[in-house]
Chains A and B, each alone.
Chain A
Amino acid sequence: MWKRGIGLALTAVLAVGTAACGNSSNNGEGSTSPSSPASGTASAPASQAPSGEKKVISYWTDDRHDQEYIKSLIDKFNAENTDNIQVELTVLSENFNQSVDIAFSSNKAPDMLRLKSANTGTFVKKGYLAPIDEYVTDEMKTKFSSLLLEGVNKFDGKLYSLPNSGQTLRLVYNKDLFDKAGIEKPPETLQEMVDDAKKITAAGNSEGAYGFALNFKNPKSAFERSVREILSLSGHQGLGYDFKTAQFDFAPYSQVIEYFKQMWDDGSILPGAETLDIDPMRAQFAAGKIGMYLSFSTEPGVYKDQFPTDIHWGGALAPTIDGKRDGTSEIVSAGTWLGISDKSKNKDAAWQFMAYMYRDEVLTAYHEQGFGISVVPSIAEKAKNPDVPGMEGFLVGDNDSIWPVSPTVTPEGANYGDAFFKYMLSGGDLAKVTADLNARYNDALAKAKEKGEVKAEADPSFDPAKLKTNS
C-alpha cells in the first residue's frame, strides 16, 4: 500500500510541476520562460498606482560601458524626484533583443528600453514602443530638430525616441608599425591602403605583425564597419543602396571589395582573420600585430578599459575609392537612445525619467566622459572633448554626417557580407556576384514594399556632397 502512496504522491508533484510548465507555455510564440536579466533586478511592470504611491519604472539596456554613470544618474533621480518614482536599471549582458522578445511575449516587459538603430524599427513593428509625441516639449523639438528623421526615430510620422550620441567610423592604425614600414600618414585612397598593408606586413612579418585585419568571422559585421565608411565618404550609400534610384546597387561596393581581395591575396591580412571576432581582433591590435583596421568610435574606450595597450595608435578618416571625398563619413546609431514601452502602465512617470535623462547637463557629461560622441548640435558645440586617449581622431567633424536611412531587407540566400567574403577568399566572377546580389536584394525590396514593410522612393536629386552642410 505504501508503494501506491508514494506513486500517487509523485504523480501529484509531477502534475503540479507540469501545470507550472503549462502556464509558461501559454504565451504564444517564444514561450519559454523569460531569461533572467543579468543584474537580477525585478523587472515586472509597475502596477497601476494612484498618485503619491510608489511607481517602479524598469529600464533595460545592453550598454555596459556607461552603466556606472547611468546608475549614478538613476540614483540621483530616485532620490530627488518628488513623485515617488523609482527607476530600476537592468543591464543585460547579451541577447538583449531575444530577452526583450521573451519579456514582451510573457507580459513582463520593462517600462523603458535602450533603443539602437538596428532594433528600433523592428520594435516599433512588433508594437513594443509607445510614441512620445504628446510628451515632447517645443523646446526639445527645437533642440533635436535636425535629428528627428523618419525611419530613424520617427515611424509613420510618430516619434519614438530622441538622439543622444552616435558612432563615427574611422580607420584605426598602429603608428609604430606605420613608422617601422616608413609610412608617413594614413592612406587616403584604397590603393594606398593596399600598398601600406603590404609594406607593414613586409616590415613586421618576422614579429607576427600584418598590415590589415577585420573581424571576418562575421563578414557582414566586418564590412559594415569598414566598407560602409569608405563608401559613404566616397559618395555612395554604405550598405549597397542607391537613394537616387531607390534600388540596391552593389557595384560601388564591389569596387572596394576588389581592393580587400588584393590585400588578402597579398598576404597582408592577419592569418586566421577569417575566424576572428571583434574582441580577439582588438586584442591582436592591442598586442601590436595589426597595422590597421576600420571601426566605430567605440575603439578608444575599448583600448582604455578592455584592452589597455602600450602601442601608439590613432584614428583617421577612412580612405576613399579614388582619394576624392564626394560624400561624408556616416555617423551611425545616432538617432535613438531611450524609448518607452507601449505596455508600460506608468508612461507619464517613464517620460519624467526620460526628460531627466535628456537634459543638457546629462548629455554634455555623457559626451565629455567619453561614453559616446554627441550628435546633438547644441551639446556638441559647447561640450569639451572627451578625456579618452585616441578619441580626438573620432570626433564629429566637417566630413561626418548622419545619412538618410536605407531600407533593411532580408534576401533569399547569402547576404552581401558572405557573398563578397566568399569572393575575397575563393575568387570567381565579381560582376556576376554583384549582379546576383542586386537581383536578390531588389527582389526582396520589391516584396517588402508590396507588403508595406518598407518605404523606398527614388530621390533623383539626392546629392551626397550636400550632406556635408548638415554636419
Chain B
Amino acid sequence: MNYWRRPFAFPKGVDQEMTRWTRLRENSLLLFPSVVLTLALGIYPLIWVLRYMFYDYPGYGEELFVGLDNFRRLLRDAEFWASVRNTFVFAGGKLLITVPLSLILAVILNGKLRGRHFMRAVFFMPTVISTAVISVVFYLIFNSYNGMVNQLLVRMHIIDSPFAWLGPDHAMMTVVIAAAWGAVGNYMLLFIAGLQSIPQDLYESASIDGAGPVQRFWRITIPMLGPVMQIIIMLAIIASLKGYESIMVMTEGGPIGKTEVMYLYLYKLLFPFATSGTPADQQFGYGSAVGFATALIVGAITMIYYWLSRKMNKVF
C-alpha cells in the first residue's frame, strides 16, 4: 500500500470503499487552512508590493502610476547601495563569527562533558531573549559616554579617553558582535542535532583504525554533517542578510549611515514613524520597489550559495 498518497491508513474495507471524490474532498479540507493562510499572508502582500512598486504612493490618497520611475530612482539611490554594501559587511562578519563558533561549541557540548546540558541551555538562552532587550543591553555595555566596557578599560588604564565603540568607525563591528552573540546558541543547537544523527559506529571504527580526535573531526564529523551544515549555513545567510532589529535598537542605522542595512532602510521607508521619521516620510511606492530589490538580492545570494554548496549534500 502506498501510504504517501493518502493522509490516513484505514482498515482494508473502508479503504476500498473510499471513492476518489471523497479523497479529494478530504485532501482539500486539510489543505484549506494552509492555502488560505498562504494566500492572505504571503500571496496577497506580494501582489500588493508587486503592484505598488510601479506607483508613487505615500500610503494614503492618490496612487500615481509612475512606470519604472521607482526603479530608476533605486539605481541612482546611493543610500540604498550603501545599505547593500553594509548588509554584506554585516552578514559576512556575523557568519564568520557565528558558524565556526556554533560548530565548535556544538562539538564540545555534544561530547560527554559534565554539565553539558546546563551549558547548552546557557548558550541557547540569547535565542529566547528578545532581540530588543539584547540590543539595549549591548548599547548599555558599549556606549561611549558611560558604557561598562569603556569604564572597565579606563579603570584598567588600557585607554585614557572613552573609545567610540558605536562611533562611525567601529559601530559595525559592535553590532556584528551583538548579533552574533544572539545567534550562536541557535545554530549550536542545530549543529548538535546534526551531530547526533551521525552514527557512532563510524567514530568507533575510525578509533580502532587509529584515527585521533582531529582526524575524526575532519574526516567524519565535517563530511557527515555536510547536508545539515548546508542548510544551517543557508539559514544563517538568509537571517544575516535580513537581520536589522538589533541595529535598529542600537544605532538606528547610524552614525551617518555606517550601520544602515537593506532591511532597515526598507523599514524606514515603510514605517518612518517607528524610528525617527514622521508620517510625511512614508513612501509605500518606492518602499515596495526597494522591497522587491532586496528580496531579489537575498534570493540570488541564497541560490548562488546553494549551487556552490551542492557538493555538501553528497555524503556518500
Do A and B belong to a common assembly?
yes
Known: A98-B271, A125-B61, A271-B145. A17 touches B33 (CB 8 A): yes
A270-288, CB < 8 A from B: 270-276, 280, 284
**A122 near B: Cβ within 8 Å?**
yes
Q: What's the Cα separation between A385 and B65 when bound, in Å?
A: 54
- Evaluate contact between A98 and B60: CB separation under 8 angstroms: no
Question: Which chain A positions have C-beta within 8 A of B79?
Answer: 413-414
- Evaluate contact between A274 and B168: CB separation under 8 angstroms: yes
Contact pick for B252, options A17, A25, A98, A218, CB 8 Å: A218
Q: How far is the CB of A239 from chain B (nearest CB, A)?
A: 12
A98-132, CB < 8 A from B: 98, 101, 118-119, 121-122, 125-127
Question: Which chain B positions have C-beta within 8 A of A410?
Answer: 58, 280-281, 283
Fill in one digit per residue for B60-85: 1 if any A CB lies within 8 Å of its CB, else 0: 11101000000001001111000000
Q: What's the Cα separation between A125 and B280 when bound, in Å?
A: 10
**B166 near A: Cβ within 8 Å?**
yes
- Evaluate contact between B168 and A425: CB separation under 8 angstroms: yes
Q: What's the Cα separation between A276 and B167 when bound, in Å?
A: 11
**A38 near B: Cβ within 8 Å?**
no
Q: What's the Cα separation between A4 and B283 when bound, in Å?
A: 49
Fill in one digit per residue for B292-307: 1 if any A CB lies within 8 Å of its CB, else 0: 0000000000000000
- Closest B residue to A447 by CB, please name it: B56
Q: What's the Cα separation between A119 and B164 when bound, in Å?
A: 36
Q: How far is the CB of B271 from chain A (nearest CB, A)?
A: 7
Q: How far is the CB of A288 from chain B (nearest CB, A)?
A: 12
**A418 near B: Cβ within 8 Å?**
yes
**A378 near B: Cβ within 8 Å?**
no
Question: Which chain B positions have C-beta within 8 A of A413?
Answer: 77-79
Q: What's the Cα separation between A413 and B79 when bound, in Å?
A: 6
- Evaluate contact between A8 and B254: CB separation under 8 angstroms: no
Fill in one digit per residue for A414-452: 1 if any B CB lies within 8 Å of its CB, else 0: 100010011001100000000000000000000000010
- Evaluate contact between B255 and A425: CB separation under 8 angstroms: yes
Contact pick for B276, options A220, A284, A451, CB 8 Å: A220
- Evaluate contact between A7 and B7: CB separation under 8 angstroms: yes
- Evaluate contact between B29 and A8: CB separation under 8 angstroms: yes
Q: Is the interface of B mostly helix, strand, loop or mixed?
A: loop
Q: How far is the CB of A20 from chain B (nearest CB, A)?
A: 11
Q: Is the interface of A mostly helix, strand, loop or mixed?
A: helix
**A97 near B: Cβ within 8 Å?**
yes
**A183 near B: Cβ within 8 Å?**
no
B89-146, CB < 8 A from A: 139, 143-146
- Evaluate contact between A29 and B48: CB separation under 8 angstroms: yes
- Evaluate contact between A272 and B144: CB separation under 8 angstroms: yes
Contact pick for A275, options B29, B59, B139, B284, CB 8 Å: B139
Q: What's the Cα separation between A30 and B139 when bound, in Å?
A: 31
- Closest A residue to B256 by CB, please name it: A422
How many residues from A make CB contacts under 8 Å with B?
55
- Evaluate contact between A289 and B257: CB separation under 8 angstroms: no
- Closest A residue to B273 by CB, please name it: A97
- Evaluate contact between B60 and A4: CB separation under 8 angstroms: no
- Evaluate contact between A422 and B64: CB separation under 8 angstroms: no
Q: What's the Cα separation between A1 and B274 when bound, in Å?
A: 52
- Closest B residue to A283 by CB, please name it: B146
Question: Which chain B positions have C-beta within 8 A of A125?
Answer: 60-61
Question: Which chain A positions have C-beta within 8 A of B144?
Answer: 271-272, 275
Question: Which chain A positions have C-beta within 8 A of B77?
Answer: 412-413
- Closest A residue to B14 by CB, please name it: A1
Known: A15-B32, A216-B255. A122 touches B145 (CB 8 A): no
- Evaluate contact between A95 and B274: CB separation under 8 angstroms: yes
**A76 near B: Cβ within 8 Å?**
no
- Evaluate contact between A274 and B166: CB separation under 8 angstroms: yes
- Evaluate contact between A3 and B164: CB separation under 8 angstroms: no
- Closest B residue to A26 by CB, please name it: B40
Q: What's the Cα separation between A284 and B144 when bound, in Å?
A: 12
Q: What's the Cα separation between A119 and B281 when bound, in Å?
A: 11
Question: Which chain B positions have C-beta within 8 A of A93?
Answer: none
Known: A17-B33, A21-B37, A272-B143. A408 touches B280 (CB 8 A): yes
- Closest B residue to A123 by CB, please name it: B279
- Evaluate contact between A274 and B255: CB separation under 8 angstroms: yes
Known: A25-B44, A125-B61. A271 touches B279 (CB 8 A): no
Q: What's the Cα separation between A426 and B76 when bound, in Å?
A: 22
- Evaluate contact between A21 and B256: CB separation under 8 angstroms: no
Question: Which chain A positions have C-beta within 8 A of B48?
Answer: 29
Question: Which chain B positions have C-beta within 8 A of A289?
Answer: 145
**A470 near B: Cβ within 8 Å?**
no
Q: What's the Cα separation between A409 and B279 when bound, in Å?
A: 11
**A18 near B: Cβ within 8 Å?**
yes
Q: What's the Cα separation between A270 and B273 when bound, in Å?
A: 27
**A460 near B: Cβ within 8 Å?**
no
- Evaluate contact between A21 and B40: CB separation under 8 angstroms: yes
Question: Which chain A positions have C-beta within 8 A of B283?
Answer: 410
A-side residues, CB < 8 A to B, are 1, 3-4, 7-8, 11, 14-15, 17-19, 21-22, 25, 29-30, 95, 97-98, 101, 118-119, 121-122, 125-127, 208, 216-221, 270-276, 280, 284, 289, 408, 410, 412-414, 418, 421-422, 425-426, 451
15 cross-chain CB contacts under 8 A: A1-B14, A14-B33, A19-B36, A21-B37, A29-B59, A98-B274, A118-B278, A217-B252, A271-B145, A274-B254, A275-B144, A412-B77, A413-B77, A418-B257, A426-B256
Closest 3 CB pairs of A and B: A272-B144, A218-B276, A14-B33
